[in-house]
Amino acid sequence: MAQAVPQSMRVITTNNEMSQACREAVKPVGLVPTMGALHAGHLSLVDQARADNLTVIVSIFVNPTQFGDQKDLEKYPRDMEGDLEMLRRHGVDLVYAPTVDEVYPKGFNTWVDVGPLADKLEGLQRPGHFRGVATVVSKLFNVMRPDRAYFGQKDGQQVVVIQKLAMDLDMGVEVVVMPTIRESDGLAMSSRNVQLSPNQRLAASVIHRALCQMYLLWSGGERNGDVLRESARNILRAELAVDEIDYVSVASMVTLDEQTTIEGRAMVSAAIRMGSVRLIDNIVLE
């Protein structure tokens, strides 16, 4: 819930000052890492962090190393003033908003590689993406040493990757995963949605309909992965050309391997292109 009275909120831009502020912060500390252009999905993470912790930090950093395409990086939406205003209203204590040079100083050359998890699904379409995500999230954890960090299920593979890195590298951070927040037609909230034209925006909810179809089949007892994938593709094809469908997946939540027969916890996901905008979404089968 947004707090009625605006809190005093410190905005910090350097690692040293941020580390110092975190050492002095009242524990437990909750961190919400973001790339800004905040929406209700981010704010649900902030509110949960506020409910769970005595100090809440939000980082705002458009991380260049997770973008393969320079144009995509340049056109990524940014609204620092609007973001800070929202965070103030939601009772955030500290905002970390470093420059690119602060995070990646000259000579930076150490990377976090999470192995095969990074090469599937989004990783196939965006080589190097998860190396960039894993590296920046590790750096954020090291600078701030939070007790908990909050991520949205919307980026399902990212959540799996970050849980693995937190465990493998003994980060001592509890990774809290919050449900996807959706528009009234089911479209998952995303900073990229503002880049859709009105017609694309209308059509974009097709990705959620396709995922719901897979979920319905699975709820009815269907366990054949191909049957689920084909049912989703049929729905997507009504709105999109074949080359606008990047992938439709039914994968294990542990290995992210495609499932022939669905067993255990699985995630149905899809990625589509609408003009220059790429949309992803998922539903966990559990």
Residue 137 near ligand PAF by CB under 6 A: yes
The site that binds ligand PAF (CB under 6 A) totals a number of residues, namely 10
3-state secondary structure of 183: coil
**42 carries an active-site annotation:** yes
Residue found by looking up tokens 């149905």 in the block: 268
Write each residue from 64 to 103 as x if it is in contact with ligand PAF (CB under 6 A), else as -, in one continuous string.
Answer: --x-------------------------------------
In the complex with ligand PAF, the residue whose CB is nearer, 63 or 259, is 63
Residue 283: burial class (beta carbons within 10 Å; 0-12, 13-18, 19+) = buried
Report CA-CA distances (Å) from 159 to 92, 113, 191, 257, 275: 23, 15, 17, 15, 27
Residue 274 near ligand PAF by CB under 6 A: no
In the complex with ligand PAF, the residue whose CB is nearer, 18 or 214, is 18
Q: Which of 18, 25, 29, 35 binds ligand PAF (CB under 6 A)?
A: 35
- Residue 32 CB, shortest distance to ligand PAF, in Å, is 9
Q: Which of 53, 55, 63, 193 binds ligand PAF (CB under 6 A)?
A: 63
Q: Encoding tokens for residue 125? A: 């379409």
In the complex with ligand PAF, the residue whose CB is nearer, 150 or 247, is 150
Helices (H), the chain: 15-24, 40-52, 70-74, 80-89, 100-103, 122-125, 129-144, 156-168, 198-203, 206-219, 225-237
Q: Encoding tokens for residue 41? A: 């999905």
Find the binding residues for ligand PAF in span 240-259 (CB under 6 A). none
Q: Encoding tokens for residue 9? A: 């909120």
Residue 133 near ligand PAF by CB under 6 A: yes
CA gap 159, 149 in Å, rounded: 11
3-state secondary structure of 188: strand
| Contacts of residue 269, Cβ cutoff 8 Å, sequence gap at least 6 | 121, 156, 157, 211, 247, 248, 249, 251, 280, 281, 282, 283
- Choosing from 39, 42, 90, 208, the catalytic residue is 42
Q: Which of 30, 33, 123, 156 binds ligand PAF (CB under 6 A)?
A: 33
- Residue 153 CB, shortest distance to ligand PAF, in Å, is 11
Residue 136 near ligand PAF by CB under 6 A: yes
Q: Which residues are catalytic?
A: 42
Residues that bind ligand PAF (CB under 6 A): 33-35, 63, 66, 133, 136-137, 155, 158
